[in-house]
Amino acid sequence: MNYIGETFYSDDELKKFNFKYLGKNVKIKKNVGIFFCENISLSDDVRIDDFSIIVGSGKGLLIDNNVHFAAKAYLICYGGIKIDSFCTFGPNVSIFSASDDYKEGFLSNGTVDDEFKKLDVKEVKIGKGSIVGPNSTLLPGSSMGFGSSLGAHSLLKLGVPDYDIYAGVPAKKIGRKDVYSPKILELLNKSKS
């Protein structure tokens, strides 16, 4: 059976991009845009789907093993983004570790000299086993704890504690996830991060 849109880069093709680190079984669709590969580390069993854009400038991106980004992810890594193992990201998820100032009377966009801009630059951290729902946005300095969840169409400005479920704009706690089973905890604890 043939499929349209199932074209991933081969291992040999990925090696030519000079990632900071490239693990085994990394699957990246050929229509994904990745910039500043030298600042990006991708561990084993990472998958990045269609039309995603990753700008690895600045402190870059570190993705641990068994992480999946569905289509149209958008990552700005200037302040650093760290994603632990076994995380899942729905389609249209945006993660910003840098953002323009919208309040103090500065300009923004890539055509404006730096002296006329002001950036909010902070690392974003995503804990093991976290889930981020479709169309969600994580802002500079936000974080997600172990096994936490962020509902669809959410805007995260702060931190989500371990196993908590947040949703909304801005995201607020709406519940708590059941603790992982002993078998899943054993799997998560074997991962290197």
pLDDT at 2: 61
Q: How confident is the model at residue 115 (pLDDT cuts 50, 70, 90)?
A: confident
Residue type at 126?
I
- Mean pLDDT value of segment 69-90: 98
Which pair of tokens denotes residue 89? 């990201």
What pTM did the predictor assign? 0.93
182 preceded by a cis bond (ω within 30 of 0): no
44 three-class SS: coil
Q: Which of 108, 102, 95 is nearest to 62 (CA)?
A: 95
pLDDT at 1: 56
Q: Rounded to whole angstroms, how far apart are CA atoms 74 and 92? A: 7
Which pair of tokens denotes residue 141? 């300095």
Q: Rounded to whole angstroms, how far apart are CA atoms 143 and 123? A: 9
Q: How confident is the model at residue 192 (pLDDT cuts 50, 70, 90)?
A: low
**What domains, with CATH codes, occur in the chain?**
13-190 (2.160.10.10)
Name residue, tokens 């845009």: 33
Asked whether the predicted pLDDT for residue 71 surpasses 70, the reply is: yes
C-alpha dist (Å) from residue 119 to 40, 77, 78, 79, 122: 21, 13, 10, 10, 10
Q: What is the pLDDT of residues 22-57, one digit of tens each?
A: 999 999 999 999 999 999 999 999 999 999 999 999
